[in-house]
Amino acid sequence: MKRDVVSTTDREIILTRVYDAPRERVFEVWTKPEHVSRWWGPHGFTTVTESMDVRPGGTWKYVMKHAEYGEFDNLITYREVVRPERLVYSHGTSTEVEQFHVTVTFEAQGGKTRLTMHSVWPSAAAFEEVRKFGVEKGGNETLDRLAEHLAQRA
């Protein structure tokens, strides 16, 4: 599995991976609550989905839990859903609907999938704040956990 992190400006991060699974499967485990609860989030976190409606205008409401750091509510609002090619969404919380914007692409490469996750914050200051909490490390760990989940389903 190829693992890249590229920060291209002062307010965005691009994470890429090539997974040994067809893009339909990768897209499915990204958009079905019974799968995301098994891999979403950095190491040490669990994810509990309240609701997930993957369609333009739909939302995914979930809580990430960590024994040491506590609970964090999350709200994803889907802007664009092109199965199995692309997801575009706003990521926020119940009180702050859009903290940053994400585009995830699923590119077929034979029987493999090149996934690109492009996240953009509204300002350099907002991005710098999340960098203090290890956004790159957390993003990498999340995508590593996706690889582990896909390998278990092979």
Please write the tens of the pLDDT for every residue from 65-117.
999 989 999 999 999 999 999 999 999 998 888 899 999 999 999 999 999 99
Q: What pTM value is reported for the model?
A: 0.92
Min mean pLDDT across 6-15, 32-41, 46-55, 141-150 is at 6-15
Separation between Cα atoms, residue 101 and residue 126, nearest integer Å: 12
Separation between Cα atoms, residue 99 and residue 97, nearest integer Å: 7
Assign domain 3-153 to its CATH superfamily.
START domain (3.30.530.20)
Q: Domain spans of the chain?
A: 3-153
